[in-house]
Structures are given as structure tokens and as C-alpha cells.
Structure 1
């Protein structure tokens, strides 16, 4: 299933994108697309049955905003330097274990919402990423099978980063990762049953129409199952939590000088096979 939320900020309605590309209203069946729903197998089964029976009403949402596909996110866990080609372009050693950092849930915005260049930001960078959405409580998982069983689905994420804040201002990476609007998510949450191999997804990004990233999740150093299992050794993952799994080569930081960091007025578009497409215009905060 392709689950999404449409409407103004704070007033999004749950919806489903059917096989014909029509939006279907889920508000008569579920309160929202959130951790409680993703952990409720019976509720998800009712949604699947209603979708299959063709009884869900059409949702007239032409021109409406698409919100993040998950409400009430508890935490956003991020994996740094998780593609071989990205490590090569930045001259970094291949990590022996996943690099973990966090983004605040309030960085999450809709897939087409405005992204704000922070005040004082001079090296705002793009990072197209595969996001994992957790569907079951995960703690101290032991096997890849257990890890994949905890995954509700996948989405497109844009891990926007201010490199000067991240790397030149001391402290940890969080300074450059947690500016407002720095985690567009969506347009859809695609349930795991529709993504048979999360390590076989093309991932692409353009800036002002110019291709910048063109990679594949097959190049991940630590694949999805290993990431979920590993993270569960250090923190409990709850339904509705999100894990951004890293970005392939092609970020501004890896380009020759002068590096083409983002500025107000730039337009970023990104997509992952089967998971949809995002488009953001940048403005100054």
C-alpha cells in the first residue's frame, strides 16, 4: 500500500494512493497514519481489505499539500557515510560500524514543502536518502529476519545538511542537521510488502534540473536489515520511528571547488524507485 497524508500543516487527513493513481480517503477507517496504526496488524488488514474491495471514497485533494506520510514521529535516527561511492568522493575511510546521529522529529516536513536555508548558513547541502519506517517495537534484535519484520515500510527522505554548521563549528554533527525543514519526507509510506528488495532501489536527485545524484541502495555499506538490527542494540525503536539510511555520491561537499551549495531560489527534486518524488524550493529563513 501507498499511505499518505494530505492537507494543511497540523490538519492532514490519512489517505491511500490506489493502483490507478487515485487518492482514497482513509479517515473513515483510521484516525491517522502513525505509529499506532503501523503497529496494529488488524487495522492495516482492514485498510488493505477496503482498498481491495474498492469501497474507499475518492478523496478530492487536487492542489492540496502533501504532508509527511507519518504523524507523531518519535525519533529520526540517521546513518552517516553509508554508501561506498559517497565515502570515496569525500575521501573518508569505510566505517567499521554504522555511524549514528539524530535529527529532531520537528525537522520533518512534507515532500514538497519549502526548505529554509538557515541564518548564517553558507554550505547547505542535499542528501537523497531511503527512509525506513518502523512498524514494531525493536530492541536488541538478533537476526536480519527480526529486523526486517520490524519494518513497516519505506519512504523518500531528504537529509538536508548545513555543512559549515556540521563540520566547522565544533561539537557534533547535530548542529548542521537539525535546522527547521531539514527533513522532507514522503510523498508516501510504501508498505514493506511492496518493496521486496530494499537493496535494489535507484535513488536520484537534481538541482535546478541538473542531475547530481544517481545511485542505488545496492551500494549501501550497511544494508537495511543490518541497520535496523544494529540500531536496536543502542536504543529501542518504536512504531513510527524513522531511520534515514545515508546518501549516495553526488553531494555538493564532494564536488570540485567552487562547491555548488544550495541557495535561496534553488529547486531540488529527488526520487527513489517505487517510492515517489519530492520537489522543494529553497528560501532564506
Structure 2
């Protein structure tokens, strides 16, 4: 039994109620009830090179919304969708906005941040690939992007929100992505095309940001590790970013 310097138990309250639990005795809930989730795409140089994607216009990022109900927390199951046969997960740094923000300059953008978290951006890849097909299915991929990204449970966040004063420089964070304990992706936030401050500056020019808004800053990759990794039912997904921790989820049928 753990005790303080006076020999009093730290596991139970004065009234005898248990107040200290082991990690496996509790469920850690998602650290934020997300109202709006805005994801950034094609924002890492290694990602652009490996995926052979045309770089967005200078000073801009590709963005798309995810429905709030897609967001789950650590330990929750990612549900395989009925309408997809190919699902991938991408590791991203998540930014939580701390105050109402409109047309902020990049020099002051980080003042608007509350903290940071790990984001697992899940995608039904085969739905997006329909944009490359012939005939009726030959619509541009973005026609399918909202559907492919917004199935229930397709955005996991956590395990915690690390406050911004504990991460004064969000542009030098190492990250690892593992499936069933095997390393699949490594990355560092220094490889962003637009850094966190520049992303906030760009988005806030015409979209007002509010406290609790989540911005996922793009999929990490390196020359050795592709950003998109296909997953299978039963896989254990772990994504870890310096100073934030490990976000873990299982893929469920």
C-alpha cells in the first residue's frame, strides 16, 4: 500500500473510498469533446515526395472537415466500415485551440493554442481511389473524401492534451507509429511544409476558430517509412509523440 511521509494511505480517502487506481483498472476517456475537427492534408515534405502529390500553393494547406462523431479516445475500438475493404491509419500532431481566433498572424498564432495531442486519422482508402477509376466512378477523389474520412470512430485522439507551455516548440517532436508492436512509421514535426503557427494563420483568415477546435496537422512520414499504412481487423495501433504519450486503439470488425 502506498503511503505519504506520515504513513497515511494514498490509495483511499479519509472516508475509506478508493481514490488511486492502476492503469488497467480504469478507462481513459478522450481528452476533449470535439465540436469541430479540421484536418490538414499533404503537409509533410516526405509525404509529398513519397505519395508523388503536387505541392499545394505557397502559403496554403489542403484542408477537410471531419464530423465530430468520428472522434474517439484511447482504448476505444476503431470500427471497420461495411462499405470499405481497405483502411489505413495516419499519425498526426493535433492542435487544440484555446481562444477565439480570427485573422491572427503567424507571429501570434501560438498564443491561441491550448495544447497538443496525438491524432490517428483513419481513412477508407478504396473509396478515395474511386476518383481514379473510369466512367461514372471517375470523379475527382475529393468527391469521396468526406465519406472516406468521416465514418464513425475514424479519428482517435489522446491519450492526453499536453499544455502548450510544456511544448514551447511544436516543430521538433519525434513520433513513432506501431502496429502489433512493429514499427511502421517514424517522423518529426520539423518536416512540416507549413508549421503550426502558419497553419493557424492560414485557416483563421476566413474561418473563425473557437476554443476546443481540433486541427490535425498532416500525416508524418520519412524517406524510409510511407505515411499511409493499411491495417487489418484485430490490429493494435499505437502512435507516440514526444511529450504527449502513446495513443492506442484496436481495429474491430
Q: What TM-score, normalized to structure 2?
A: 0.82
Q: Does 1:161 align with 2:117?
A: no
The CA RMSD measured in Å over matched residues stands at: 1.7
Structure 2 runs not aligned, ≥5 long: 1-17, 132-138
What CA distance in whole angstroms lies between the structure 2 residues aligned with 1:60 and 1:277? 19
What CA distance in whole angstroms lies between the structure 1 residues aligned with 2:241 and 2:19? 26
Q: Which has the higher contact order (CA 8 A, sep 6+)?
A: 2
* CA deviations over 1:229-263 (Å, ceiling 9, x no partner): 1111131110000000001124475xxxxxx6211
User: Which of 221, 226, 236 pairs up with 1:267?
Assistant: 236
Relative to structure 1, the CA distance from residue 203 to residue 85 in structure 2 (aligned partners, 3 Å threshold; closer, same or farther) is same
Q: Structure 1 runs of 4+ off > 4 angstroms? A: none
Relative to structure 1, the CA distance from residue 89 to residue 149 in structure 2 (aligned partners, 3 Å threshold; closer, same or farther) is same
What CA distance in whole angstroms lies between the structure 2 residues aligned with 1:196 and 1:61? 31
Q: How far is the alpha carbon of 1:127 from its aligned partner?
A: 0.3
Q: Does 1:116 align with 2:79?
A: yes
| Aligned pairs, number | 220
Q: Does 1:173 align with 2:145?
A: yes
What CA distance in whole angstroms lies between the structure 2 residues aligned with 1:232 and 1:58? 42
**Residue aligning to 1:95:** 56
What CA distance in whole angstroms lies between the structure 2 residues aligned with 1:278 and 1:161? 17
**Residue aligning to 2:212:** 240
Does the 8 Å contact 2:127/2:144 carry over to 1? no
Q: Secondary structure at the match of 1:127?
A: strand
**Residue aligning to 2:32:** 70
Q: How far is the alpha carbon of 1:61 from its aligned partner?
A: 6.3
Q: What TM-score, normalized to structure 1?
A: 0.73
Structure 1 or 2, whichever has the larger Rg, is 2
Q: Secondary structure at the match of 1:152?
A: strand
**Residue aligning to 1:183:** 155
**Residue aligning to 1:129:** 92
Structure 1 runs not aligned, ≥5 long: 1-56, 254-259
What CA distance in whole angstroms lies between the structure 1 residues aligned with 2:248 and 2:241? 13
Q: How far is the alpha carbon of 1:281 from its aligned partner?
A: 1.2
Q: Secondary structure at the match of 1:147?
A: helix
What CA distance in whole angstroms lies between the structure 1 residues aligned with 2:226 and 2:83? 20
